Structure 1
């Protein structure tokens, strides 16, 4: 007997071997999909009726700083250097484990409500992030963000923290949590430190998450320091491999793209964040053409303001159309693949497709909405018309985290209150909530 049977929905499998089903059923048992087809010949403990809805793989957000939900709208529309040095870095020093725990729980709530089932994270106090992920039921690939700035003592301390995090949390939460090494970026980490991280990651058999060529300033700084860009430097020291997830990858040359393709590096594309920080436009169509696995991500709320992957999908499609002046450059199906199949591939998890043996990480999207009517093309509607708020039901590991719009794995009001209290730790006038959400005495 199956644990859960989802029936009467349009099954967007994202599996090229089986194709999509206009009206099908999905059965889940012990956290895994055991049947995908027209009619399940068996019983189930729980039946979910998906009539008028699309059943699809949960979205995979491959680059996030989840604790940054506490900094949503904190310092917008400022020059990048001022934003980082005068606002973000100083306020992060005031955030401890409990604040990060509250911020990550808020991030998880937001992601669940908008259809994301898995995310990759790199930030501070990542033990608290792991605790939040375990509590809420999501799937995540977490990494402690490491920076040494060429300081040997800081390098030793950072690598030790990273190693301890990998040791303690890789495979935690019954396998829902995987740990990664998270050297911040080539311009904030020394060559020796990057080589040490590379060696340790191979020894521990875990992946590596790093920012690469996010800004033109990084490109120029690397050329001045090493006489080459970040990609070439990382390649020359043997850093790149198929276990590397590189975020942003904006300022790439043709040769850089060839290196990423040849080494099997996975790229995380953050179109909304890149636009908001005026960092530039990543050459995603060219990367895809060269066979690079390009996934999608939101980045943190300080540089995006929300974690809605539906918005990211639409932005990615539109950005590259207008940048190339080619309406066909990235179609809706390709964007859906980037948000599901390619994201799961980047993190090395059996998800991103509705396929027998894969994790029961699924979402149900209600298509009976004014902005989704009439319905000619499901792929097109999901990318260009749907919103995160159209997601009604979310399952991770075969467990229902949200059903019919009601979050079951946490108390929404409590999460928002605790996050608002945590934000006060910054003692910043920028975080005054004019709606009174920081005051638990206000009747919601």
Structure 2
């Protein structure tokens, strides 16, 4: 199947009619800006012209602007997921009791991934991107470690473009099965020329790779960020030589960073490596000591982004990541105090977790000058949360409502680059029946190829014996 045929077959799922550039005035909302200079407003307005925020404050007048009533709503920046394997979208919760990293790989890389067609990459990425938008996530770093061919990578990029999400797409080598090794990482140059020539502003290119000097050098020739899964003492032992040779830098993005020695954290900080942490993933898959590295990053003067990682075991929303990080940190801090440790950390506050999900995540993605806060001149990536829903009403504290109580169903409106992507609680221009049909066809293919027997009550993931 060619990419052109793929696009013609699946792109009717989302209407492609572009929304005209217009002035939008969000009126009377509780504004959480995440910008200290802008501040917050118990009741304020926000004006969008084209793809940018042009004014924030009380009682803004804008003749001819379309009014969006934000009464009884929180208006906040779109959230940023700094590490998501979007291609796995149709494998949601296929392995919910997975308890090790090997279990995760058995239910993804070592089974279904080997049989992905370009169409399956498109469906997985589209499902994930739309699910992110639905959950108020407006930007993702798409860790696409199933780039089996040029056509697979094209399909993944086209799904992100069609969904209208902001993304950093990082294709990477598959972990198992047959794939086009001869064109990796050369295909990055082709991808950059085809899709990332400045014609579209929402999706940018990176590369996903484990530590490999030669492959990293290829990415740097193309001036691409390098995304790496990084955790544990064994991987940490590889870092000293890289650091000494000047091969760590601000173009590196490290995922997890679980159970690293202090000396490794100091190298990461000094080199300017961007890091994200995975509150649920580390615990779910027993990664090293199972404790996410949020506090370790803070201890070494770094502000990490938050990461969902994948949806093969659990949900895809950042509200839950904020909560898990909050309670893990509070639990560990109190345990230290209770046992008389002299350097017990202070309890984390809601603002810090919301920063990790917004402006700090934007910095990890290399987009802090564009998104992550409600700031005049930045891109209009905006989320509006209904506070008169029964689970949030009465909203006595806006930050508390976001970090401790909100869920995707409370999100009324999502705007990305000035374009309406979710309105009145529903994804805009989505043919849900067509999405379901494409997803079921993909699942049927993948299940048939692996011999997987669909069981909605399965305790563990398994395939028939060969």
Per-residue deviation, residues 177-211 of structure 1 (Å, max 9, x unmatched) = 1000111x23xxxxxxx223333333322211111
Could you tell me whether the CA contact under 8 Å between 1:171 and 1:177 is conserved in 2? Answer: no
State the secondary structure of the residue aligned to 1:325.
helix
Partner of 1:288: 298
Could you tell me whether the CA contact under 8 Å between 1:24 and 1:38 is conserved in 2? Answer: yes
2:319 counterpart of 1:310: yes
Label 1:306 to 1:293 Cα distance change in 2 as closer, same or farther (>3 A): same
Instruction: Find 2:118's aligned residue among 81, 89, 97.
Output: 97
Label 1:161 to 1:391 Cα distance change in 2 as closer, same or farther (>3 A): same
Instruction: Find 1:57's aligned residue among 65, 77, 96.
Output: 77
2:258 counterpart of 1:240: no
Offset, 1:47: 1.3
Offset, 1:83: 4.0
Per-residue deviation, residues 23-72 of structure 1 (Å, max 9, x unmatched) = 11111112010111112232244211110010000010110111111222
Label 1:430 to 1:85 Cα distance change in 2 as closer, same or farther (>3 A): closer
Offset, 1:431: 6.2
Q: How does 1:185-334 map to 2 (within 5 A)?
A: 185-186=210-211, 194-213=212-231, 216=232, 219-220=233-234, 222=235, 229-279=237-287, 280-302=290-312, 304-325=313-334, 328-334=346-352
Offset, 1:416: 2.7
Partner of 1:12: 32
State the secondary structure of the residue aligned to 1:104.
helix
Could you tell me whether the CA contact under 8 Å between 2:350 and 2:399 is conserved in 1? Answer: yes
Question: Residues of 1 paired with 2:248 and 2:423: CA distance?
Answer: 41
Could you tell me whether the CA contact under 8 Å between 2:371 and 2:379 is conserved in 1? Answer: yes
Instruction: Find 1:133's aligned residue among 152, 156, 160.
Output: 160
Question: Residues of 1 paired with 2:96 and 2:199: CA distance?
Answer: 35
The number of aligned residues is 412
2:200 counterpart of 1:174: yes
Per-residue deviation, residues 156-197 of structure 1 (Å, max 9, x unmatched) = 6321123322333335662101000111x23xxxxxxx2233
With structure 1 as the length reference, what TM-score do the two structures score? 0.86
Q: Runs in 1 of length 4+ with deviation above 6 angstroms?
A: none
Question: Residues of 2 paired with 1:431 and 1:45: CA distance?
Answer: 54
Offset, 1:126: 2.9
Partner of 2:13: none
Offset, 1:429: 6.1
Label 1:114 to 1:83 Cα distance change in 2 as closer, same or farther (>3 A): closer
Question: Residues of 1 paired with 2:168 and 2:306: CA distance?
Answer: 15
State the secondary structure of the residue aligned to 1:93.
helix
Partner of 2:444: 424
Label 1:82 to 1:388 Cα distance change in 2 as closer, same or farther (>3 A): closer
Offset, 1:328: 4.4
With structure 2 as the length reference, what TM-score do the two structures score? 0.82
Offset, 1:346: 1.3
Unaligned stretches of 5+ in structure 1?
187-193, 223-227, 436-444
Considering only aligned residues, what root-mean-square deviation do their CA atoms show, in Å?
2.4
Instruction: Find 1:374's aligned residue among 394, 397, 403.
Output: 394
Partner of 2:138: 117
State the secondary structure of the residue aligned to 1:320.
helix
Partner of 1:385: 405
